[in-house]
Amino acid sequence: MIIRGGIVYDPANGIFGEEMDLCIDGGRIVEDAKGEVIDARGLLVMPGGVDAHTHIAGKKMNTGRIMRPDDARLGTELRSGVCRPSTGYTVPNCYAIGYRYARMGYTTAFEAATPIIEARHTHEELEEIPILDKGALTLFGNNWEVMECVHDKDIAKLAAYVAWGLRAARGYGIKIVNPGGGEAWGFGSNVKGLYDPVPNFDVTPAEIIHALAEANEMLRLPHSIHLHFNNLGKPGNYTTALETLEALEDIKPSRMRQAVHVTHMQFSAYGGTSWRDFESKASIIADYLNKHNHATMDMGQLLFGAATTMTADAPLEYGNARLTHNKWSNHDIELEESSGVVPMVYSRKMLVNAVQWAIGLELALLTEDPWKVLMTTDSPNGSPFVNYPEVITLLMSKPKRDSEMATLHGELSKRTSLGCIERELDWSEIAIMTRAAPARILGLEDKGHLGLGADGDVSIYNLSPHEVDASQEHATVKKALAAAKYTIKSGTVVCKDGKILATPRGKTYWVDAVAAQADMDRLMVDLQDKFERYYSVQMSNYAVQDVYVTNPRVVKAGLGAGPLKEAA
Amino acid sequence: MIVEDAICSFCGCLCDDINVEVEENKVKRVRHACRLGSSKIMGHERIRRPMVRKDGELKEVSYQQAYEQAAKILLAASKPLLYGWASTVCEAQKKGILLAEEVGGVLDSTATVCHGPSVIGIEEKGLPGATLGQVKNRADTIVFWGCNPAEAHPRHSLRYSSNACGRFTPEGRSAKKIIVVDVRETRTSKNADKLVIIQPGTDYEVISALRMLVAGKGDMVPEEVGGVAKSELASLSEMLLAAKFGAVFFGLGITHSRGRYKNIDNALSLVTDLNSHTKFVIMPMRGHYNVGGIGQALAWSSGYPMSVDFTRQAPYFNPGETAACDLLAKADTDAALIIAADPASNFPRTIVEELAKIPIIQIDPYENPTTLLADVVIPSAIAGVEAEGTAYRMDGLALRMRKLVNSSYPSDEEILDGILESVRSLRCSRSLQGGLKDDN
Amino acid sequence: MISGRTLAQGANCESKMSEDFFKAASSCYLSKEDYDLLGLSDGKNILLKNEFGKTVFSPRVDDGLRRGIVFIPMGPWANILIGPDTGGCGTPQFKGVEIDLEATNSPIQDIRELFGSIKRAEA
Ligand code: SF4
Ligand SMILES: [Zn+2]
């Protein structure tokens, strides 16, 4: 396949809006190719979009679907052509997830939170999602074995457990959610801060995070720890955010990447002592990130309208349910985690919601280096992913932000600095925040760029980047981003003018890390005991079997895995 | 040969510690399973060959002939019902959903005659739950409401609930409080610290009274509710509030009684209320081993967990309209594919009489009363014994069922594949014929 | 009347054409008082009926039951007495159904008799 004459943005390879041809053969970018010619003359061309943090599969997602038939009705699209029927808006069915991401030019999405014991379910759903390449992060922050290793300061055994857990879950990396809080929730409480000990385990959240970061680097995992802070969603929590980031400054990354990725920072950049004096502390967070290089983040942008909050932070969800009097699902997971799901509507009329909306944008606009901040909505927590074009246009257009702010609460300008920010992101920065950076942060070498050998995932939009003024013509831009002219996945046109044409099966990435045998042996003694006495399943029935990952892409890490190739 | 850690495919407990002794491809002994489980794994008299009804009699045919006959029935129908699914694996369920989409039918599971009201209750309120291991390790107070696990889920108490030992429950049964609420004494209530007998059909009122008491508004509760003295309810509410970790398990006693989903709605609210005082979770006692799985598979593929109508090219869900019993009662379906279920036994008689009027395809390892009504009978391998696959435990945990013995029967998945292929080729040849006619 | 699962019914629910299932599912459990009151002690059967249908069961005493309540294992005999209405939720009301009952000398229908009557003519 040859893509002719597009205006290409490939920031990872230093290409910022140059007219050039792209060739794809055997599913990869190559020097020369024959076959189908795609006419992209003058149009915006980028690598396929990569979402490094989204909720698309597994128990939480399905719980959301089951408790929200109202939501299912919102997104109904008929079965037609190659497509099975779509339903849902904030909690779409598996098919809709694949089609809608592809329609926006996205080709890769990573599910953000899976307990090991429930990974089989996650993979059942991932397998059912068409088109996309995907992976799932694995939860470790409230796990008994983890906390016991941390307590014993046995990082080597912890690393062995992480390797074992990733393999059992066919998982991609270490996710940590409200460390210690999920365990405390087992008896209905929470941890109050980074140094508040976890009941019954005599460790602090700070120790859990730090030890997991050390284990992560000991195993040379492609991704860093992926962290959802303690106290998330609470007024005044920016201090927890800063404290936690500071506690990780000494972590030496084992690869050319961050030492910690902080997810949905919007929910952790809150000032004030209550919802009444609630205000943005985005500028302090952005300032910290500007001065330090060990951390990256994603926005977790909130948009007005319907959302479904779903997180392993179960006490937070209980709080959400109490606050909104909405229906509440909770799910505690033996020895490993807890979680919750609560439907939500963010209202323009609510000052708190307006401030939250502004914080996400502030974070992205005040952080100077776009490689440090990803565009996400923590879908469907801040808003479903189908609204990414709205977020991107807000980032690109000051007039759009101003006209939005004019409709919001008058107090808003006192609580945030968003109105004073002049910065408008350009296409290079957008390409970084939605393609190049998420791929680099995840450690996906063949994603997010268009260099030779990269995956043949390309999105082409019906938009001339040099002619359209995104600041003024934001409506045109939003329309173009919502329905790609072409989405090409591994060299196949999967979507044309917003219509799905093909639904190939995507790959599933997981990390196979090797730990020292002696540590593994010590670990097995612990695990045998845990399965004998505490788990409700046998060890032999626990790990995800190969049949659940039919198109695996195994990334090797750990001892003897050799130096990993870096993305350009 | 001994198969270790086999998973029992009878009830929603999905016990995964079963040892099965196999000799010459036959199950000889089953260890660790309860009577229900071992009876299932040992097996019974099977249907031998596929059959199609001719002149009122079922006559043996080949599998291919049976698939084609099934395809004809499904294609001739304007709104076929694809019913059952609870006692087979997700791999078959996924095929069934695809088949329902392709023939434009309604897919419903046996949940609609068991925990369907629970699902509706969850749609109203959400489900504050946990995995069974969480209950095992933490629960010091357990309520069985309208359920009788001693007879329906015999190993539940030992593996997960009343008699289980875990990290924070090392003393097991002796340090726990077990409460049974039912309309009668049961084998389960014999193991209880407290039995509260209520009048049939008063679950809603009793739960409401408990919610009042838990909220400290006991003065609003009348002296007697559902045949239970207020003092009795007050002591029950105190027991609930004294829990460090409480778990409520509920069964058909509450979903099948007057009030149905409203009862569940109220029970879920009670548990939510209790969480502002202490930790509480709640869970339906799912009967068939994989009735959870069909709910999950339907939800991720259609957005709805049961009673999904695919006749309009897009999933539509409205229990009371699209549920199997409602469709049959209103003669709103004109063919039925029944898999791994026995509606002839389990539906109200008047509805069975309606079912008997439409063509029926049955897929099942065993003859049962539905066979007596069926027009096409396709015997299958027993999922979870003779075929592998995924099942979801009552707490939503997915496990992989092992294959214990080989079978000459095709699996449910293979049979559905066969029917799907026949549907496609029949359609194809018809449109081809139609096309030729048009050319003339 | 309430219907529900028992061990014996459950263990035989995959061999529904068997004698064991017949025994398990065509039984009707009552309190001792009701049993005596109806004069069932001398080997009589019991006829249950309501607006939806009527059928004969084999009576048994269950001390766990209160007066006025009978329990029948779930199955095709019990379902003769269940109405079709789902109250808009898809599930018929299987429990808490009002019935009349009397002692009878009539025999219990076996499973084939039960379904023989509705077996439809060739489609
Ligand atoms: S309790 Fe249920 S799953 Fe366990 S052995 Fe008995 S029937 Fe099987
Ligand atoms: Zn998230």
Q: What is the model's pTM?
A: 0.96
Q: Is residue B103 part of a domain?
A: yes
Q: Is B325 on the interface with C (CB under 8 A)?
A: yes
- Residue A393 CA to residue A430 CA, distance in Å, equals 10
Distance CA A432, CA B211 (A): 53
Same domain assignment for residues B425 and B345: yes
Q: Which of B210, B263, B216, B264 is nearest to B237 (CA)?
A: B210
For residue B365, give both structure tokens: 């390892």
Question: Is residue B209 situated within a structural domain?
Answer: yes
pLDDT at C8: 81
Q: B18 in a domain, yes or no?
A: no
CA B120 to chain C, closest CA, distance in angstroms equals 8
Interface of B with C in 330-369 (CB under 8 A): 342, 344-353, 356-359, 365-369
Nearest by CB to B129, from A77, A128, A331: name it. Answer: A331
Rounded to the nearest angstrom, the gap between the alpha carbon of residue A499 and the centroid of all alpha carbons in its chain is: 25
Nearest CA in chain B to A79: B313
* B241 and B139 housed in the same domain: yes
pLDDT at A567: 37
pLDDT of C106 higher than 80 = yes
- Distance in Å, CA B118 to ligand 1 centroid: 22
Comparing CB atoms, the residue among C10, C88, C120 nearest residue B356 is C120
C44 within domain boundaries:
yes
For helices B291-302 and A94-103, the axis angle rounded to 10 degrees is 20
**Residue A302 contacts residue A353 (beta carbons within 8 Å):** yes
A328 and B125 in contact by Cβ < 8 A?
A: yes
Asked whether the predicted pLDDT for residue A568 surpasses 70, the reply is no
For A279, residues 6+ apart whose C-beta sits below 8 A from its C-beta are: A270, A271, A272, A355, A414, A415, A416
Concatenating the DSSP letter of every residue in chain C gives -EEE--HHHHHTTT-TTSHHHHHHHTEEEE-HHHHHHTT-TTT-EEEEEETTEEEEEEEEE-TTPPTT--EEESSTTGGGG--S--TTTT----BS---EEEEE-PPPP-HHHHHHTTPPPP-
Nearest to B369 among C94, C115, C122 (CB): C115
Rounded CA separation A264/A194 (Å): 18
For B413, the 3-state DSSP assignment is helix
The residues pairing with A49 across neighbouring beta strands, listed in sequence order, are A106
Q: Kindly report the average pLDDT of chain C as a whole number.
A: 88
* Domain at C72, CATH number: 2.40.40.20
B37 lines ligand 1 (CB under 6 A): yes
**Positive or negative torsion for Cα A90, A93, A97, A103:** negative
- Give Cα B294 to chain centroid, integer Å: 8
Structural domain span for residue C43: 2-116
- Closest by Cα among A565, A303, A337 to A453: A565
Determine, yes or no, domain membership for C122: no
Taking contacts as CB-CB distances below 8 angstroms, the residues of chain C near B348 are 52, 79, 82-84, 92
Rounded CA-CA distance A255/A511 in Å is: 15
Tell me, what CATH number does B156's domain have? 3.40.228.10
Q: Are A8 and A15 in contact (CB under 8 A)?
A: yes
Q: Is residue C21 part of a domain?
A: yes
CA atoms within 13 Å, Cβ hemisphere of A71:
31
Same domain as B255, residue B342: no
Q: How far is CA B271 from CA A440, B262, B265, in A?
A: 45, 14, 10
Nearest to residue A2, comparing CAs of C89, A11, A12, A29? A29
Query: 3-state DSSP call for residue B290?
Result: coil
Residue B366 domain-assigned? yes
The answer to whether B426 and B72 are in contact (CB under 8 A) is: yes
Residue nearest atom 2 of ligand 1, based on CA coordinates? B11
Q: Give the up-direction half-sphere exposure of residue A333: CA atoms within 13 A in the CB hemisphere.
A: 29
Answer whether residue B4 is part of any domain: no
Tokens 């926006």 belong to which residue? A104
What pLDDT is stored for residue C116 in this prediction?
80
List CB contacts (< 8 A) between A332 and chain B. Answer: 129-131, 134, 281
> What is the overall mean pLDDT for chain A?
97
Tally of residues, chain A? 568
- Provide the pLDDT for residue A561: 65
Closest-CA residue to A44 (of A18, A13, A12, A23):
A18
The reply to whether B216 and B354 lie within a common domain is no
Partners of chain C (3+ Cβ pairs below 8 A): B
- Burial grade of B223 (CB within 10 A; 0-12, 13-18, 19 or more): exposed
Residues 6+ apart with CB under 8 A from B37: B8, B10, B11, B15, B18, B30, B154, B155
Indicate the angle between helix axes B203-214 and B230-242, nearest 10 degrees.
Answer: 60
Tally C-beta pairs within 8 A across A and B.
190
> Tokens 């209320």 sit at which residue?
B273
Q: How many whole angstroms separate alpha carbon A149 and alpha carbon B290? A: 36
Q: Residue A133: what are its φ and ψ, rounded to 5°?
A: -85, 145
Q: At C119, phi and psi to the nearest 5?
A: -65, 125
- Span from the CA of B37 to the centroid of ligand 1 (angstroms): 5
B354, B244: one domain: no
Q: pLDDT confidence of A73, banded at 50, 70, 90?
A: very high
Give the separation between CA B391 and CA A498, rounded to whole angstroms. Answer: 36
Q: Please state the separation of Cα B119 from the chain's center in Å.
A: 11
Residue in C65, C69, C90 nearest the CB of B320: C90
For tokens 């991720």, what's the residue? B300
Looking at the structure, tell me whether residues B342 and B423 fall in a common domain: yes
B20 lies in some domain: no
CA–CA dist B73, B99 (Å, integer): 13
User: d(Cα A96, Cα A132) in Å, to the nearest integer?
Assistant: 11
What is the 3-class SS of A237-297, one letter each residue?
CHHHHHHHHHHCCCCCCCCCCCCEEECCHHHHCEECCCCCCCEECHHHHHHHHHHCCCEEE
Which C residues, 39 through 98, put their C-beta within 8 Å of a C-beta on chain B? 52-53, 62-66, 69, 71, 74-76, 79-96
Which residue has its alpha carbon closest to ligand 1 atom 4?
A: B15
Residues B252, B122 share a domain: yes
Domain membership flag for residue C109? yes
**How many Å separate Cα A311 from the centre of its chain?**
12
Reduced 3-state DSSP string for B36-103: HHHHHHHCCCCCCCCEEEECCEEEECCHHHHHHHHHHHHHHCCCCEEEECCCCCHHHHHHHHHHHHHH
Contacts of A254 (CB under 8 A, 6+ apart): A217, A218, A220, A221
- The reply to whether residue C6 touches residue B151, judged by beta carbons under 8 angstroms, is yes
Q: Would you say the CB of residue B153 lies under 6 angstroms from ligand 1?
A: yes
Neighbours of B124 (CB within 10 A): 15
Angle at A298 between CA A293 and CA A304, to 5 degrees: 150
Examine the domain organization and report whether B323 and B335 are in the same domain: yes
Clarify whether residues B364 and B392 are in a common domain.
yes
| Contact residues, chain C, for B257 at CB < 8 Å | 2, 93, 95-96
The two tokens of residue B252 are 């058909």
- Residue finishing a domain among B261, B284, B307: B284
Rounded to the nearest 5 percent, the helix, strand and coil shares of chain B are: 40, 20, 35
Examine residue C103 and state whether it is found in any structural domain, yes or no: yes
Using an 8 Å Cβ cutoff, are A444 and A46 in contact? no
Q: What is the structure's pLDDT at A200?
A: 97
In terms of Cα–Cα distance, which of A445, A300, B188 is closest to C64? B188
Instruction: Indicate if ligand 1 lies below 6 Å from the C-beta of B155.
Output: yes
Q: State yes or no: pLDDT of A546 exceeds 60.
A: yes
Which parts of A459-516 fold into alpha helices (H)? 474-482
Model confidence over A3-36: pLDDT tens digits? 999 999 999 999 999 999 999 999 999 999 999 9
Integer Cα distance of B153 and A496 in angstroms: 53
Report CA B44 to chain centroid distance, whole Å.
21
> Does residue B315 form part of some domain?
yes
**Residue A529: Cβ-neighbour burial (10 angstroms; 0-12, 13-18, 19+):** exposed
How far is residue A384's CA from residue A55's CA, in Å, rounded to a whole number?
Answer: 9
* Dihedral angle, C-alpha A356, A358, A360, A363, nearest 10 °: -130
Residue C123 domain-assigned (yes or no): no
Q: What is the pLDDT of residues C7-45, one digit of tens each?
A: 888 888 788 888 888 988 999 999 999 999 998 877 899
**Long-range residue pairs from A252-256, CB within 8 A, at least 24 positions apart, any chain:** A252/A217, A253/A217, A253/A224, A253/A294, A254/A217, A254/A218, A254/A220, A254/A221, A255/A220, A255/A222, A255/A443, A255/A564, A255/A566, A256/A566
Residue nearest to atom 5 of ligand 1 (CA): B33
Helix residue spans in B139-260 (DSSP H): 149-152, 156-159, 203-214, 230-242, 252-255
Chain B neighbors (3+ CB pairs < 8 Å): A, C
Kindly give the confidence (pLDDT) of every residue in chain B, 440 residues in length, as a single tens digit, with 9 standing for 90 and above.
999 999 999 999 999 999 999 999 999 999 999 999 999 999 888 999 999 999 889 999 999 999 999 999 999 999 999 999 999 999 999 999 999 999 999 999 999 898 999 999 999 999 999 999 999 999 999 999 999 999 999 999 999 999 999 999 999 999 999 999 999 999 999 999 999 999 999 999 999 999 999 999 999 999 999 999 999 999 999 999 999 999 999 999 999 888 889 999 999 999 999 999 999 999 999 999 999 999 999 999 999 999 999 999 999 999 889 999 999 999 999 999 999 999 999 999 999 999 999 999 999 999 999 999 999 999 999 999 999 999 999 999 999 999 999 999 999 999 999 999 999 999 988 887 765 544 43
Chain centroid to CA C39: how far?
19
pLDDT number for residue C42: 78
Bridge partners of C3, per DSSP, are C72
Spatial distance between the Cα atoms of A128 and A508, rounded to a whole number of angstroms: 12
Q: Is the pLDDT of residue A537 over 60?
A: yes
Residue A346, SS3 per DSSP: strand
Contacts for C79 with CB less than 8 Å, ≥ 6 apart: B345, B346, B347, B348, B349, B352, C3
Range of the domain at B406: 48-112+289-436
Q: CA-based angle A409:A290:A366, to the nearest 5?
A: 25
